[in-house]
Amino acid sequence: MGGHIRIVTDGVADIPPHLIEQFKIKVVPIYLLMGQTSHLVGVSANYGWFYRQLLTSDVMPKTAAPAPAEFLQAYQALVAEGARDIIGLFASANVSSLYSHAMLAAQQLTGATVHVFDTGQVSMGIGWVALMVAEAVARDASLDEIKALIMQSCARATVLGMLDSPEYLRRSGRVSWAAAKLVSLLQIKPMIAFAAGEAQLIGRVRTHQRALQHMVDTVMTMAPLQKLAVLHAHADPAVITRLSEALAPYAPDPSPLLVEVGPIFGAHVGPGAVGVALVRAGDL
């Protein structure tokens, strides 16, 4: 059985490199356009260059989904490595065309079956679903079990983000209410919850301290948790540590997994954002 089921995800997923390697997860990279320069963003341990550029220039980064052909190449590479079933876990179709491109490519693949899922998630929200599937594959779970696991974990996954400024999300144009709800005459740090394909504004605060308190209070209402990661986009290390320590009691492991989010999600939340990606505990 081992090796016949493989997982493919996209560059939004923000899974740390060591876990990508451990579970042999394939990542389809995404185009990041910074002015005239185009980068291909997949897996990396260090995105400091991106956030520094974001902070020091006026260039608004743009992201673009790879063509279906690029998904097809990723699938074909897995087939060449012996995959019979490929589990494709992609960013919410509500906010990107990755899922539809992945679907188009899946129809063209020969030699294996691609099971494509819209996780309804972003960043480590996708990442957790992929890692939970990877763990299931590692313990030789059946395809049916894996599909049930995906349904349940997608439904229980939430990403919470506390944005240092609403600007990046607003300018990205991907959240329909952003213009109406985020424009104000005062500096506001919005708190966003992303679940089941929908981004919602769940809080507005003006200071870091209250932002963290709000985040911890919200996580508390979702406990017990099966997975918990602390996300950060080039945020103040002291803030990350404070959040991580405050959330430790809710983490299923001794401490939450620390994840620096990549440029694709980072371009939407902006530098200085902190957040969590969690999966609520359930039966599976």
Partner 1 sequence: MGERGGSESVYSLDGHDLKFMVAAALSWLRQHQAEINALNVFPVPDGDTGTNMMLTMTSAWSEIADVEEENVGRLASKVAHGALMGARGNSGVILSQILRGFARGLDSKGYMSAADMPVALNEARDTAYKGVVKPVEGTILTVMREVAEESALAVQETEDLQCVFERLVQRAKSAVARTPQLLPVLRQAGVVDSGGQGLFVVLEGMLRYMKGLSVEEIERPTASATLAIQVHEAPHDLMTEALHFDSNYPYDVQFIVAGHALDVAGMRATIEAMGDSALVVGDPQTVKVHVHVLDPGIPISYGAKCGSLRDVVVEDMQTQYEAYIAGREAVPASTFAHAGVLMPVEEPPNIAVVAVAAGDGLQKVFRSLGATGIVEGGQTMNPSTAQILAAIDQSLSDSVIILPNNKNILLAAQQAAEVSQKHVAVVPTRSIPQGVSALLALDQQATLDGNVAAMLRAAKEVITGEVTWATRDVALNGIDVREGDAIGLLDGDLVVDAESFGEVVDWLLAEVELEDCELVTLYYGEGMDAAQAEALAERLSEIYPDLEFEVVEGGQPHYPYIISIE
Asked if 69 is part of the footprint of partner 1 (rule: CB under 8 A), the reply reads yes
Stretch touching partner 1 by CB under 8 A, among 4-12, 18-26, 119-127, 203-211: 203-211
Determine the Cα–Cα distance for residues 74 and 9; give it in Å rounded to an integer: 10
* Strand 157-162 with 113-118, pairing: unpaired
Per CB under 8 A, contacts with partner 1 among 88-107 are 97, 100-101, 104
Q: Which is nearer to partner 1, 97 or 226 (CB)?
A: 97
Stretch that binds partner 1, among 7-15, 198-206, 243-251, 275-283 (CB under 8 A): 198-206
Residue indicated by tokens 């992609």: 90
Q: Are 206 and 188 in contact (CB under 8 A)?
A: yes
Buried b (16+ CB within 10 A) or exposed e, 235-266: beeebbebbbebbeebbeeeebbebbbbbbbb
Dihedral-angle region of residue 24 (phi above 0 means left; psi in -120 to 50 means alpha; beta otherwise): left
Judged by CB under 8 A, the stretch of 23-31, 118-126, 178-186, 249-257 that binds partner 1 is 178-186
Q: Residue 188, interface with partner 1 (CB under 8 A)?
A: yes
Contacting residue, 210, 223, 240, 258, with partner 1 by CB under 8 A: 210
Q: Residue 79 or residue 202: which is nearer to partner 1 going by CB?
A: 202
* 65 or 133: CB nearest partner 1: 65
Q: Which stretch binds partner 1 (CB under 8 A): 84-92, 176-184, 236-244, 259-267?
A: 176-184
Instruction: For residue 51, give Cα distances in angstroms to 30, 161, 263.
Output: 17, 17, 8
Work out which of 184, 220, 249, 253 binds partner 1, going by CB under 8 A. 184
Nearest to 3 by CA among 84, 64, 110: 84
Should residue 170 be labelled a site residue for partner 1 when binding is judged by CB under 8 A? Answer: yes
Distances (CA, A) of 1 to 21, 82, 142, 282: 19, 11, 9, 27
Per rule CB under 8 A, count of chain residues that contact partner 1: 35
Residue 45 or 180 with smaller CB distance to partner 1: 180
Quote the least distance from Cβ 169 to partner 1, whole Å: 10
Tokens representing residue 104 in the block: 């188009």
Under a CB-based contact definition with an 8 Å cutoff, are residues 132 and 124 in contact? no
Q: Which of 16, 125, 203, 275 binds partner 1 (CB under 8 A)?
A: 203
Query: Which residues contact partner 1 (rule: CB under 8 A)?
Result: 67-69, 97, 100-101, 104, 108, 170-176, 178-188, 202-210
